[in-house]
């Protein structure tokens, strides 16, 4: 059994749908990063998504054992909606974007991923990591963290979407047995 310490990457300050777009994180809040690092288990290995905002946040946690970056931990792929604002996309395809957010499941943006695609990908990544160590720090994104909470909390997608996942927050859970210890903790 692995206790997963899921950390959302530092902020990008983007006001658009940013999934696979590789924007850097703003890691200028050194006090917040120090509190975050102190809160996490000191000897736990760290793994991150392969996007630079997650890699840089993982690097900022200080010297810890590192595992190779895992693309399975990436944010949802917004396809043709990448880097575009909600209002802009809603003006073009109001029914599709509303269905995507209001009934998460199989609805997907053009050339993008559905919520079910993201959960399958991120759950497979966590399954590969479960049992690796007693504690594992995972630096990832809003979507994969919510997907992990959905699984460990045995929730529906609409139920889990009620949770907030702030940048530089920690969500702690186990997959086996499925237990959510904390969500969106800000050290």
Over range 54-83, report the average pLDDT: 97
pLDDT tens sequence across 120-134: 999 999 999 999 999
* Strands 170-174 and 3-8, sheet pairing: antiparallel
Dihedral sign from CA coordinates of 4, 26, 143, 54 = negative
- From CA 67, how far away is CA 130, in angstroms rounded? 13
**Conformational region of residue 136, where left means phi above 0, alpha means psi within -120 to 50, and beta covers everything else:** beta
Per-residue pLDDT reduced to its tens digit, 76-120: 999 999 999 999 999 999 999 999 999 999 999 999 999 999 999
Segment 152-180, tens digit of pLDDT: 999 999 999 999 999 999 999 999 999 99
Domains of the chain, with CATH numbers?
A: 3-77+113-185 (3.40.50.1240)
Q: Residue 159: which of 172, 146, 170 has the closest Cα?
A: 146
Do residues 102 and 161 make contact, with C-beta atoms less than 8 angstroms apart?
A: no
As a whole number of angstroms, the distance between CA 2 and CA 156 comes to 23
To the nearest whole number, what is the mean pLDDT of the chain? 96
Provide the pLDDT for residue 36. 98
Whether this model's pTM surpasses 0.85 = yes
End-to-end Cα distance, the chain: 24
């Amino acid at each position: 059994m692995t206790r997963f310490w899921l950390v959302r990457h530092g902020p990008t300050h983007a006001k658009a749908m940013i999934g696979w777009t590789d924007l850097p994180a703003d890691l200028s809040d050194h006090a917040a990063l120090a509190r975050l690092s102190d809160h996490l288990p000191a000897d736990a290995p760290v793994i991150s998504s392969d996007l630079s905002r997650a890699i840089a946040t993982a690097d900022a946690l200080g010297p810890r054992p590192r595992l190779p970056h895992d693309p399975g931990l990436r944010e949802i792929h917004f396809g043709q909606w990448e880097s575009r604002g909600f209002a802009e996309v809603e003006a073009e395809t109001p029914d599709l974007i509303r269905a995507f957010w209001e009934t998460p499941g199989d609805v997907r943006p053009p050339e993008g991923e559905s919520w079910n695609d993201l959960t399958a990908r991120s759950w497979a990544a966590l399954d590969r990591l479960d049992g690796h160590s007693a504690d594992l720090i995972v630096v990832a994104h809003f979507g994969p963290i919510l997907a992990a909470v959905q699984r460990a909390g045995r929730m529906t997608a609409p139920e889990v979407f009620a949770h907030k996942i702030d940048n530089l927050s920690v969500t702690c859970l186990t997959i086996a047995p499925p237990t959510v210890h904390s969500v969106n903790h800000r050290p």
